[in-house]
Structure 1
Amino acid sequence: MMESRAAAAFEALKSLLDANGKRHWIREGSPTDDAPHPLWAHLVPPALRAFVARCGYPSILAPGLQLAFVPLHLQPTIGLAEAGFDWHLYKALLQAAVRRANGAFFAGSDLSDVGGWCLRLDGEEPRVWEIEESLALSQKKPASFDDWCIARIEKVRRKALAAGTGAKKPRKQNASDPADELSLYAGSASYYPTAVTPDARWPNGKVKSEGAFKDDKPEGPFRFFFMTGAPLASGHFENGVRQGTWQYHLPPSHTEDASEKRLWGRGEVKDGLEEGLWTGTDEWSPVERARVFHAGVLQELSAPPTR
């Protein structure tokens, strides 16, 4: 396991807070070898894994700065919206293991409203993006996990030094711990499978997909379904990986007629992720829209080109 600069900084902060009578500004975690969900693992850098192995999932409860680290195995349950996608569609694609995630929520300031920070691929390395109400905000210079974590630890260190030594008995900490809200998500982890499997079913018993398998991997044409049984997605697999033309449907509740099965989009998939031009509609209107993707991330949303 690699060394963790963030873990070293956090342990130094604990010593400082002890000396200043402000240990109540943090809640310690227990070191763990917790592993991320396979469809989120590409977003979890070694630096975060090393931090968790040394510090677990602590909380920072300093005045004006409260955050809790989210257990890696719970990341799928804290649903992040994805630009360009209908929220219910994107969530269903993840719960059916149709595609991997674009963002991994790793620290929360307000878990009930999905506010905090996530990791997204920015070039070759996952970078930290701020989250408000489940949507990642555009960042000018996203930081690495270590740099992001050390910057917040430094803020707490400065607050502690400015407040001085706590010779008096520490006052009761009034700030609530965001980690207390993790119980909202603990029961949903099983909804996110690690791969497309034969006979996969939703909690209500309805099938998630139909298609053939070769060497335990999906192969050839496949269809996926929402929990209601309505069509979700369809396309082809090659050696267990989505390739070629795919199409996604909006949830029936997003159309005027539940039997309408409106197409959200049709386009190309390369190595499991949307690539290039996708045309379809959205949850607000049946008017055709065009979306341009690169490696599964929306690049442009506009009216379709004139034919």
Structure 2
Amino acid sequence: MADAKPVSPQRLRALLASATVLPWWWVTALVVVAVGSTVDISMPAKGATSWHIAVGPTTLVAIGLIWLPSAIRLLALAGGSVKAGGWEASSTGLMQAPEQLIEDLTELRTTAEPPPGERGTVQGDVDRIAARYLPPEQTLTPEVVNRLAREYEAIRRRMRGGDKRTAAMNRLVNEVRIRAAAAPETARAMAPALLRSSADGDRIVGLALVQGTPAASVHEDVLRIVGTAASAFEQYHALRALDKMLPVLDADERARTKAVLEREKTDPRGIGVMKDAPIASWIDHLLVVLSDPAAGR
């Protein structure tokens, strides 16, 4: 609806937290029912009382019902329907408008960005929400990708360099990552052509898709961008794409990556690579992980 109020990142955090809380009394009662229903006691007229443990329908139903409160809350948030025991519940959901959910998740991801070497739990939660609740066929389309690529170029063209412009560009990258999480197969199919494009916006969107759905098949494309990036922002996100790709690279690809990064540390193009603190931090972090994979866990 046009007059629907957006769900703020703070409100979204609170909604998701409340949706996953299970009442202790509910869990306790159903665990007692589940355990009790597994014990079958026989008391024949003659002979000793006997008992044995068997898992029956009552046990399975009780275990399944433990998650019912969370399922109902998530139904209220995301919409859909639930059928159980002869009744049905349905809801349009607070999160049913895909574009509004994308906007809120983008804001949440952007405000909780971890530094190099740290794995943010919020980012993982955001990606899981996107994958579960956003419709892939609507979330990532050629039209959407082209719009975001041109929007990136417009930001660079119209805004003066500085923190505000960087924040706007990072927000766009995070939006692409969320869309990639919702449609990973489409993201992997689109990434190669975008990474090889001569348009700055296409390459940035391609790097964001790789960050959201890393694949070894675009390794050489990302490495090339690290060494030929048109801007510090582009090189920064190429390094972040490499970070996401490391777990899927083989030994030869990791060695090639290490060689390229070591060369970049010498600033072969004379553009002051190591004077840019975020880029220098990511290069150093990646080299540490490449030398000791355990360091990146």
TM-score, with length taken from structure 2 = 0.25
Please say which structure displays the higher CA radius of gyration: 2
Structure that is richer in strand per residue: 1
